[in-house]
Each structure stands twice: as structure tokens, then as C-alpha cells.
Amino acid sequence: MKPSAQTSFAERLGQVFGRMWRGCLRQERKMNGWLVEHGLPAGGATTLLWITKLVVLGVLLYVAFWMVLVLLFSVVAASVVGGNSSNEDEPEWRIGLSGYGLYRGDTRVDPGSPDEG
């Protein structure tokens, strides 16, 4: 006796999305039939459904744009608020009173080389 085949998560997810897609197509056909039944020409019903789809897509893109903009603004604001205001904590390479080296503030923190004069 063969063991039953295991379906992967991706396969189950694909089946769910496929059923949802078929359900949406079924609802679209029902709406098209209802519009034709109520006196709209078949071409007009199809056009109206396409216009509705495009309007919904436009609204979704508009909302997504503003959500991304708010997210970007919040990330920038968080980095400004949470950033170090003082650069004294981080050493930097520069030329100072003791020559070129790694300085924290005005103090050189690297040992330097014995050849420096």
C-alpha cells in the first residue's frame, strides 16, 4: 500500500488562490448576466465591469502609495529621533594636533607609529 502524498504549503496556497480566482470570475459572470438581463448591452456590461476593475485598481494603488509614503516618513523620523546627536562617541580618522590618526574629540586614540615625528 502506497503512503498518501503530502501536499506542500505552496501547493495548498496555490489551490486556495485558484479557488478564490475562480470564485471571482464566477461572480463577474453573474454580474455581467445580471446587467444584460436588466437591459444593458453585452458590450456595455463588459465595459462597465472593466471600468470598475480599473477604478478599484487605481484606488488600491493610491492607498498603497500613501501607505508607503507614511511608512517612509516614519522611518526617517525614527532615524532622526533615534540617531546620535553627538559625534564625540565615534572616533574618526583625521589630521589633528598629534598628526594623522584616529581621534575621539581632540584626543588621539590610536597608538600611532614610532616613525612619526
* Predicted pLDDT at 88: 59
Q: With cut-offs at 50, 70 and 90, classify the pLDDT of residue 63.
A: very high
β-sheet bridge partners, residue 103: 92, 108
Q: What's the pLDDT tens digit per position in 67-107?
A: 999 999 999 999 888 865 565 578 888 888 888 888 888 88
Q: How far apart are CA 95 and CA 65, in angstroms?
A: 47
Question: Helices 9-37 and 42-82 sit at what angle, rounded to 10 degrees?
Answer: 140
The residues spanned by each domain of the chain are 10-82
Average pLDDT, the chain: 89
Give the pLDDT score at 103: 87
User: How high is the pLDDT of residue 114?
Assistant: 60
pTM: predicted TM-score of the whole model, two decimal places: 0.58
Burial code (b: 16+ CB inside 10 Å, e: under 16) for 44-71 equals ebeeeeeeeeeeeeeeeeeeeeeeeeee
- List, in order, residues 6 or more apart from 101 with CB less than 8 Å away: 93, 94, 108, 109, 110, 112
Average confidence (pLDDT) over 40-44: 95
